[in-house]
Amino acid sequence: MEKLFTSESVTFGHPDKLSDLIADSILDAYLSKDKNARVACEVALGKNKVYVLGEITSKAKVDIEKVVRKTILDVGYDQDALLFNGHTCQIIKDLSCQSKDIAQGVNGRKIKAGDQGIMYGYATDETPNYMPLVHNLAHALTDQLTYVRQNNLIKGLRPDGKTQVTLTIEKEQVYINTIVVSCQHDEDKSFSLLKKEIKEKVIKAVIPSCFLKNTQILINPTGRFVIGGPVGDAGLTGRKTMVDTYGGIAHHGGGAFSGKDYTKVDRSAAYYARYVAKNIVASGLAKKCEVRVAYAIGVAKPVMVDFDCFNTNLVEETLIKKVIDKFFNFEVQNIIDTLNLKNLEYTFVTQKHHFGIDSLPWEKTDLVSPIKKYVHDIISRKI
């Protein structure tokens, strides 16, 4: 039976992603001066205005307006013709300190969960980086779209953009049913030339030809995309949760990442759950694995740790549970230490994708060898 899977990605000139990037730029600015800063920063964009909201407690002094403007300008919103300009936009700040009620439950000798919630991590062996293939393809298109814009390989592109890939799996065949590329452009950009350039310099540059089997390609389906960014659509942090995770292939607990420091388990535990799932799959224990974990605010240990291999496990699930219990510690302080979250550059993560980038600490497969040995010893009844 034919199965269809669709995944979306956006450039960091998209208003929601730009909001994420601004929030993480503020977070990085504080953590660079104060590793113990508590940041829960939300950003909203509309017309030529930026709203910075939330709670920040820190010994550091940060020029938030300077950080916001630099981020916007670096993305490419640097002229009035775009109707959103980092030089002239209005920045409105409404920030307070972290609630003392929350702080007393989180801070201490060992950091405890900064919020309640459910987080998911996922891995699959269908790609070398253990990410869903369809999501990798969607990300590859937006990465290339940004690359050709920043390097002026396609003239007349503007920062806003998004892609969508629909993958067809039919028996043993995998091919792309539909590709959608929506890219903001200058007023005088020829639509026919734009379509030709996107096909040649974006799609064919990154999508293997074996996937392009009678593929429907839709480029700016309305025929025009001049008005974009925060003028075409308001932006808000945390609105691209599927883009930031696994493209809708795995479950999602609803919590977003950007603008949150490492005590917020919405972020840190989701990263750690990916680390666990990836090591399980990379060890050959299952072809797919989803790890789910839940916390209560002010409590160090999770109230739930569970997993699902979707009937792809290659060993008994009881053995996989033993592996998780032996090799992984979901206490918040251990997550922070294991993944070195106090020293992470969060804007890099936001720009490069939260999962599937080898250099990120939760993408390491350093436990594969000990896991394989442990499993072998159990099966051969050495332990």
- DSSP string of 184-222? EE-TT--HHHHHHHHIIIIIHHHS-GGG-SS-EEEESTT
Among residues 42, 160, 197, 290, which one is catalytic? 42
List 5, 12, 84, 225, catalytic entry: 225
Query: Catalytic residue at 288?
Result: no
Marked catalytic residue, from 38, 112, 264, 353: 264
How far, in whole angstroms, is CA 250 from its chain's centroid?
A: 13
Check 16, 244, 290, 363 and give the catalytic one: 16
Tokens of 223: 């025929």
> Which one is catalytic: 38, 139, 162, 267?
162
Active site residue 233: yes
State the burial class of residue 158 (Cβ atoms within 10 Å of its Cβ: 0-12, 13-18, 19+). Answer: buried
CA 196 to chain centre: 30
Residue 225 annotated in active site: yes
Measure the CA–CA gap between 72 and 203, rounded to whole angstroms.
27
Cα separation, 4 vs 170, in Å, equals 9
34, 55, 126, 143: the catalytic one is 55
Q: Which is catalytic among the residues 14, 69, 149, 274? A: 14
Is 17 annotated as catalytic?
A: yes
Q: Name the active-site residue from 60, 103, 205, 234.
A: 234
Write down the catalytic residue from 5, 17, 288, 331: 17
Q: Which of 38, 112, 135, 239 is catalytic?
A: 239
Phi-psi region of 259 (alpha: psi -120 to 50; beta: other; left: phi over 0): left
Please tell me which residue in 240, 274, 288, 354 is annotated as part of the active site: 240
How does strand 235-236 pair with strand 49-57?
A: unpaired
Distance (Å, whole) CA 347 – CA 335 = 20
Segments in 175-309 forming alpha helices (H): 191-198, 204-206, 229-232, 241-244, 265-282
Annotation says 264 is catalytic: yes
Instruction: Mark whether 158 is an active-site residue.
Output: no
Residue 317 falls in the annotated catalytic set:
no
* 16 noted as active-site residue: yes
d(CA 88, CA 144): 29
Instruction: Based on the residue annotation, tell me whether 266 is a catalytic residue of this protein.
Output: yes
Active site residues: 14, 16-17, 42, 55, 162, 225, 233-234, 239-240, 260, 264, 266
